[in-house]
Amino acid sequence: MANVGWLDLALAGAMALTAAHHLGRPLAARLSGRPCELDVNLAHAAMGAAMAAMLLGPPAREPGWAVAMAIPTLWFLCRGVHAYVLHGRAAAAHPLREALLCAAMLYMLAAHGPHAVMAMPGMTTPQGPTNLAAVPALTVLFVLALAAVAVRSVPAAGRAHRAGTSVAPAATAGCQLAMIGASGYMLALML
């Protein structure tokens, strides 16, 4: 955890809280009788944990982190295509947003996997810092796409709160915005 700055620590703490929130949501939903997407919550918990780990030190060298993001990325892509085929474009928006969030995390992990390390303080290999897999144009596209998701998240949380259809919609929206902000920060460091 050498050279981890205060912002990295704060964001890592926020990501750990995000992971905990999304792990607790399914139980809270079950107890309150409200709907809760288990797949979304598990994906967000995994992303929060992975981002906290990346912010505190070098990414794990095991392929498990990448697999943990590749599976939900493919899952939400399939859900989006299925929803589009059956119900049209509007129904596909939510799963495709989730696929985007997972894909951004997968990109960060791939760009900083065993052969490349994120250009953050303290994240170096014995040979020095590397950033071999990051593609600046793709990084910028992910940042812009995440910003668009963030803009759409706040009104969606307001609708869920008014309808009473979600467990802790304000906290969930806050967690999603924190996750998007942390992702944007980590992606910006790749440029």
- Structure confidence by residue, pLDDT tens digits, 8-54: 999 999 999 999 999 999 999 899 888 889 999 999 999 999 899 88
pLDDT in tens, 143-162: 999 998 888 776 666 666 55
This prediction has a pTM of: 0.79
- The mean pLDDT value of the chain amounts to 81
The answer, yes or no, to whether residue 60 has pLDDT greater than 60, is no
Sign for the pseudo-dihedral over CA of 58, 61, 64, 69: positive
DSSP assignment of 27-56 equals HHHHHHT----HHHHHHHHHHHHHHHHHHH
Instruction: Answer for the pair 162, 173: CB distance below 8 angstroms, yes or no.
Output: no
Instruction: Answer for the pair 9, 67: CB distance below 8 angstroms, yes or no.
Output: no
Task: Please tell me the distance from the alpha carbon of residue 84 to that of residue 120, in angstroms, as a whole number.
Answer: 39
The answer, yes or no, to whether residue 87 has pLDDT greater than 80, is yes
* DSSP-derived secondary structure letter, 60: P
Q: Which two tokens stand for residue 106?
A: 């997968």
Q: Is 103 left (phi over 0), alpha (psi -120 to 50) or beta?
A: alpha
Domains of the chain by residue range: 6-188
